[in-house]
Amino acid sequence: MAVGRSYVGRVSRWWLLVGTAALAGCGGPDALGAWPAALVVRSPGIQTGLIGYPVNDRPAVRLLDADGNPIQGAAVTFTVTGGGGSVTSSLATTGSDGVATVGNWTIGAGSNTLQASIPAPFRVAPVLFGATGVGQAYQISLLYITPPSASNQAAFDAAAARWQVMIFGDVPDLPVTLAPGSCLGNEPAINQVVDDVLIFVTLDSIDGPGNILGASTPCYVRSAGLTPIIGAMVFDTADLADIDSLGLLEPVIVHEMGHVLGFGTIWTDLNLLAGAVSGGGTDPHFTGPKALAAFDRIGGSAYTGGLKVPVEDSGGPGTTDGHWRESVFGNELMTGFVSLGANPLSIVTVASMGDEGYVVNYSGADTYTHTFNVAPLPGPGAAAGPRRIPLGNDILRVPIHTMDSSGRVTGVYRP
C-alpha cells in the first residue's frame, strides 16, 4: 500500500502553484496529478439497522489522488442528509491509508442517507451512504413448565429483552403442532403459530447446590437455515437463590438462552466450527467471518495462541466446542464460566449470531475490553483473580429435529 501523502503540505503547495500558474499561464494544480481526485467507499454502502441504534458498520471513505495514492491528513465531513438520524462526530481525518471513518451513525425509521465530502476548492464528488431503519421484529416467547416467582420471571423477561435488542430481524413464523413431552419430556402439547422462537422453562432439581446451574438446548430448528423454533431451558432450584443473591441470575439466563438460539449448539451443521475436540481436534475455533472480523475489531488481531475465534477446548462434553475459550476471553458471558462481577456479552457473540443467519444489532452488545492471551487464568475461587463459577455441562444433549415451513418434522440432525 502506498504511503499517504501529506494533505496539509499539499494545500500549501496548491496555493503556491495557483499563483505561479496565474503568472506563467500554466495548466494549474491538475497537471501535477497529485491533488485530491476521488472519494471511494470503504465500508458497506447500504445497510439495514434497528431504529434508534447505530448501524453495525460505521461508514468510511478513502481519499485518493489522481494516481490512486491515499491522501493522509485530509478533513472529511459526514452530513446526515435524510432520515432524521445523527452522527456522534461529523468530522473525520484521513489516516495514512487515506481512510476516514465517521463516528456512530444512529438511524431513524425508513430511509436514511449520509453524505461524505471534502471542502472546496477541490472538485471531488461526494459519497452517499444509505441505511434502512426497521423496528424490532424478533420475538422470544417463554412458556413456564414451573411457575417462577415474580422476581425470577422479571429476570427471564429481562434476558429475553436483551436478546431481542441484539437479534432484531424477523424469521419465518411456523405453525407448530407437537404432542406432549416433545422436547425434554415434560412439556405440554403445542398447537400454535410460533413467532419466532418458543422456549420451555423448567425450574427443578438437577444435581444439588453447585455444579450445573442451568442447561439448555434447541429441540426443533427450521430446515432452511437451522434457526431454532422450539427450545428448552432448565435451572437448578438448588442454585437459584444463591446466584440471584450474587446478581448472576439474569446473566446465567442470558447465557442459557443464547444456547437455545443456537450459540454453540448448531455451529457444526452450519460449518461454523473447525478443529472440534469432539472430532479429535485440539484447537477448536469458530470460523464465521462476521465473528472473526468482530474479534479483530476489539483487539483479537494480536491473538497468536492458535486459530481464530478460539472456542473452549476443555471442561467436558457440554462445555467444550460450545463456548468461547475462557483462557482467552476471560469474563465474557458466553464462556463456560460466570464471573462474580461484570459478565459482558461482547460484539463477537452478537456477530457470531449474525454468522448463524440472524439479523443482528452490534450496538446491543455490552462494552467489552480485553487483552487476548493464551496464558491459563487462575482457577475458580483462586486468590489471584476474580472468582469464577463453572456453568458445568450446560448444553443438553437431546435430539434436535428439523421442521419445514409448514411445521412438519422432516428429520433429526443431531440424534
Q: Which three cell numbers stand for residue 301?
A: 488481531
Query: Reduced to 3 states, what is the DSSP secondary structure of residue 161?
Result: helix
Of 134, 166, 186, which closes a domain?
134
Predicted local distance difference test score (pLDDT) of residue 40: 97
Of 107, 134, 161, which closes a domain?
134
Higher pLDDT, 128 or 15: 128
> How confident is the model over 299-308, as pLDDT tens digits?
999 899 899 9
The whole-number average pLDDT for the span 308-319 is 92
Whether the predicted pLDDT of 28 surpasses 50: no
129 plus 147 within the same structural domain:
no
241 plus 93 within the same structural domain:
no
Q: DSSP label at 319?
A: T
204 plus 95 within the same structural domain:
no
Domain of residue 43 covers: 5-134
274 plus 394 within the same structural domain:
yes
Which among 163, 134, 159, 162 has a CA at the least distance from the CA of 148?
A: 159
78 plus 199 within the same structural domain:
no
> How confident is the model over 372-407, as pLDDT tens digits?
866 555 444 333 345 788 888 899 999 999 999 999
Q: Which three cell numbers stand for residue 90?
A: 461529523
Q: Distances in Å between the alpha carbon of 274 and those of 270, 278, 347, 349, 386?
A: 11, 10, 21, 17, 31
Of 134, 157, 180, which closes a domain?
134
Q: State the pLDDT confidence band at 10, using cuts at 50, 70 and 90.
A: very low
Phi, psi of 335 (to 5 degrees): -85, 180
126 plus 230 within the same structural domain:
no
Chain position carrying cell 450446560: 394
The CATH number assigned to the domain holding 206 equals: 3.90.132.10
The CATH number assigned to the domain holding 63 equals: 2.60.40.10
Cα–Cα distance, 356 to 15 (Å, whole number): 54
Residues in Cβ contact with 23 at an 8 Å cutoff, skipping those fewer than 6 apart: none
Q: Are 305 and 373 in contact (CB under 8 A)?
A: yes
396 plus 286 within the same structural domain:
yes
Cα–Cα distance, 155 to 163 (Å, whole number): 13
> How confident is the model over 83-96, as pLDDT tens digits?
989 999 999 999 99
Residues in the chain: 415
Whether the predicted pLDDT of 162 surpasses 60: yes
Beta strands, E only, 166-211: 174-178, 190-194, 197-204
User: What percent of the chain has a predicted confidence (pLDDT) above 90?
Assistant: 74
Q: State the pLDDT confidence band at 198, using cuts at 50, 70 and 90.
A: very high
401 plus 309 within the same structural domain:
yes
What is the edge-to-edge ordering of all strands in the sheet holding 75-82?
46-50, 127-134, 110-117, 75-82, 91-93
> How confident is the model over 319-340, as pLDDT tens digits?
999 999 999 999 999 999 999 9
Phi, psi of 391 (to 5 degrees): -80, -10
Q: State the pLDDT confidence band at 113, using cuts at 50, 70 and 90.
A: very high
Number of domains in the chain: 2
Q: DSSP label at 362?
A: G
The whole-number average pLDDT for the span 233-244 is 87
Strands 86-87 and 105-106: antiparallel
